[in-house]
Every structure is written in structure tokens, then in C-alpha cells.
Structure 1
């Protein structure tokens, strides 16, 4: 069958999708140590804050209330 080609309003965009260049882009520059540290530091800070809050908060979350039992024993001894 014969296919009739009609004009498309954005024909240049359709051609741009099909176009392949034979020029390779330059390789990306390697990140410096300072840039890599700048990317990792905020994440490590957040992780350290979460771990620190868990370490500090674990005694409050435990079911053992040893300081209270010592106080009640001291008050019974009087």
C-alpha cells in the first residue's frame, strides 16, 4: 500500500529524534576530593544524628526502671 506523507506541524522535532551524531561527547571530569566530601558530609551528618539520638534515647525506651525500684527500696528501709 502507498502511504501518503502529510506535513506535520513539528516536523523538525520529529527529525531531531531520529538524528544520531557520530561525535562522542567528552568524558565527564573527575570529582575532586573536596566535591566528593561535600556530597557525602550532609548524609553522614544525618545518619550520625539519628544513631546518636537512638543511643541517647534507648535508656528511656527500655522497660526496666531500675532507678525507681532503688528509690522505692530506700524509702521502705526508713
Structure 2
């Protein structure tokens, strides 16, 4: 690939990966007790919903056992 011999008009763009700011961000505010309780409640609700759907959906996903030869339906008996 050919390199351009022209000077970069914005040299600071080429040095942007080496730039470090000396400005510190403001400290994070602590979450209130209500916010923490709300997050826990939301998390527990989501987990309870997933567990409930698995518990209720498991019987629908299980394969039915084939009826034994002694148990025949009325349709197969010719009634």
C-alpha cells in the first residue's frame, strides 16, 4: 500500500491514542435504599418467572408413555 508523504494537517488526531486526560470524573452517587430494593425485586421477579415457566412447561415437554397392551381405548375395541 502506498503511503502518503503529505504531512497530516491534524497531528493531534494521530496522537489521540496516547492522550490521557488529567480531568477526573465526578464521583458516582450511591444508590438509595429504595433503588437497591427495587433492583432486587425486579431481579427476583424475573427469576421467579423463568423458574415458573420451566416448572409449568416441563410436563408439556415430557414424552407420553405408550399405553400398555392391556389398556385399549374404546375405539380400538370396535364400539
Shorter chain as denominator, the TM-score bin is 0.3 to 0.5
More helix per residue: 1
TM-score, length of structure 1 as denominator length: 0.44
